[in-house]
Amino acid sequence: MKHYILLLLVFSAGLASAQEPGKDPKTTEVWAITPPTISPGAAYGNAPSDAEILFDGKDLNSWSTPDGKPAKWEVKDGIMTVAKGTGDIKTKGTFGDIQLHIEWRTPAQVEGDGQGRGNSGIFLQERYELQVLDNFQNVTYPNGQAGSIYKQTAPLVNACRKPGEWQTYDVIFMAPRFSDNGRIAVPARITVIHNGVVVQNNTEIWGPSQYIGLPYYEKHGAASIRLQDHGNPVSYRNIWLRRL
């Protein structure tokens, strides 16, 4: 009896779909939204046609010190390098959800160890640090190594190249959303691909990076990207983003 009922159900379901007017595959084709046509970069890492270029190798016109004065990092041979003691630099533009491409290089001449070796950082919205560090055969606390969300989430793997070699970060950052009362409504999320390898997979960010203590959110809007002067001559090149 059970089987008979089941068969009847299957048969009637088949009949129903056979009688549906929507048997035409075109009924589920969506033509109303046309994704813009862009040109991807000519080679890997090159900016696509709809990117905002943050550093083209020529000057620091898109950057300033955190308090708005001219950025003082060294620009030479198409790259920018931390000028020790001149402080962090930040973009003049402010951003929310973005796709970011950035290439970085720690010094070929290795000095120091742990957090003192090729340390810099990329602070998304000036608060959330994606660590830049020379972790090629250099051990530190995992949630502070290259590819970590600093003092929060360790990378899935250590994908570091050797000191002195160029490395890439491709980042998808979704900014946090706040309620009118200032409380966090939707935490920030980040995906990071380091040298072609996923090291953060849609990771929730717990709040602004804290050196001491636990992070907590405070309401903010669109904000700059800040690069860290941690006293090591780390270099950057080919920095661009797309607003999502």
User: Of residues 62-101, which lie at the interface with Mg ion (CB under 5 A)?
Assistant: none
Q: What angle do CA 234, 239, 241 make, to 5 degrees?
A: 140
Q: What angle do CA 90, 142, 95 make, to 5 degrees?
A: 25
Q: CA distances (Å), 243 to each of 93, 96, 222, in order? A: 12, 7, 11
Stretch that binds Mg ion, among 71-79, 194-202, 203-211, 221-229 (CB under 5 A): 221-229
Q: Is 233 in the site for Mg ion (CB under 5 A)?
A: no
Helix and strand numbers, DSSP H then E, in the chain? 1, 15
The residue nearest Mg ion at its CB is 121
Stretch that binds Mg ion, among 17-25, 115-123, 174-182, 207-215 (CB under 5 A): 115-123
Residue given tokens 């250590």 in the structure block: 158
Give the sign of the dihedral formed by CA 154, CA 155, CA 157, CA 158: negative
Q: Which is nearer to Mg ion, 121 or 147 (CB)?
A: 121
Binding Mg ion (rule: CB under 5 A), the pick from 118, 121, 155, 163 is 121
C-alpha 141/C-alpha 152 separation (Å) is 11
Q: Which is nearer to Mg ion, 144 or 176 (CB)?
A: 144
Q: Which is nearer to Mg ion, 62 or 232 (CB)?
A: 232
**Minimum CB–partner distance for residue 85 and Mg ion (Å):** 16
**Minimum CB–partner distance for residue 179 and Mg ion (Å):** 31
| Residues engaged in binding Mg ion (CB under 5 A) | 119, 121, 228
